[in-house]
Amino acid sequence: MVAVGKTEFGEISIRQLSKQFIDTDGGLLEALSEVDLEIEPGEFVSVVGPSGCGKSTMLRLIAGLDSATGGEILLDGESVEGPHYTRGLVFQDPTLFPWLTVRKNIAVGLEARGLIKEQKGVIDEYIKLVGLEGFGNSFPHQLSGGMAQRAALARALANHPRVLLLDEPLGALDAFTRMQMQDELLRIWNERGTTMILVTHDVDEAVYLSNRIVIMSPRPGRIQKIIKVDNQYPRSRNHPDFLRLRTRILEILHFAKEIEIGYYL
Q: Does the pLDDT at position 1 exceed 50?
A: no
Q: Does some domain include residue 108?
A: yes
Per-residue confidence (pLDDT) for residue 258, from 0 to 100:
43
Q: How many CA atoms lie within 13 A of 91 on its CB side?
A: 8
Per-residue confidence (pLDDT) for residue 120, from 0 to 100:
58
Per-residue confidence (pLDDT) for residue 113, from 0 to 100:
80
Average confidence (pLDDT) over 59-82: 96
Query: Other C-beta atoms within 10 Å of 64: how many?
Result: 17
56-65, 81-90, 129-138, 248-257: range with lowest mean pLDDT: 248-257
DSSP string, 200-231: -S-HHHHHHH-SEEEEEPSSSB-EEEEEE--P
Average confidence (pLDDT) over 20-30: 86
Q: What pLDDT band is residue 5 in, cutting at 50, 70 and 90?
A: low
Q: Does the pLDDT at position 261 exceed 80?
A: no
Q: What is the pTM of this model?
A: 0.91
Q: Does some domain include residue 121?
A: yes
More confident residue, 213 or 7: 213
The count of residues in the chain is 265
Query: Other C-beta atoms within 10 Å of 213: how many?
Result: 25
Q: Does some domain include residue 54?
A: no
Counted domains in the chain: 1
Q: Does some domain include residue 100?
A: yes
Q: Does the pLDDT at position 60 exceed 80?
A: yes
More confident residue, 264 or 220: 220
Instruction: Using CA atoms of 160, 163, 168, 174 in order, give the dihedral in degrees to the nearest 10.
Output: 40
CB 85 within 8 A of CB 113: yes
Average confidence (pLDDT) over 5-24: 88
Percentage of the chain exceeding pLDDT 90:
77
Give me the chain's average pLDDT, please.
90
More confident residue, 255 or 204: 204
Per-residue confidence (pLDDT) for residue 91, from 0 to 100:
92
Average confidence (pLDDT) over 39-60: 95
Q: Does some domain include residue 109?
A: yes
6-15, 50-59, 150-159, 251-260: range with lowest mean pLDDT: 251-260
Q: Does some domain include residue 102?
A: yes
**Full residue range of the structural domain in which residue 149 is found:** 96-160
More confident residue, 2 or 82: 82
Rounded distance between C-alpha atoms, residue 140 and residue 117, angstroms: 24
CA distances from 164 to 111, 158, 198, 264 (A): 19, 11, 8, 33
> Among the residues of 101-174, which ranges form H helices?
102-112, 122-129, 145-157
Q: Does some domain include residue 137?
A: yes
Q: Does some domain include residue 24?
A: no
Per-residue confidence (pLDDT) for residue 22, from 0 to 100:
87
pLDDT tens digits, 108-158: 988 888 776 555 578 998 999 999 999 999 999 999 999 999 999 999 998
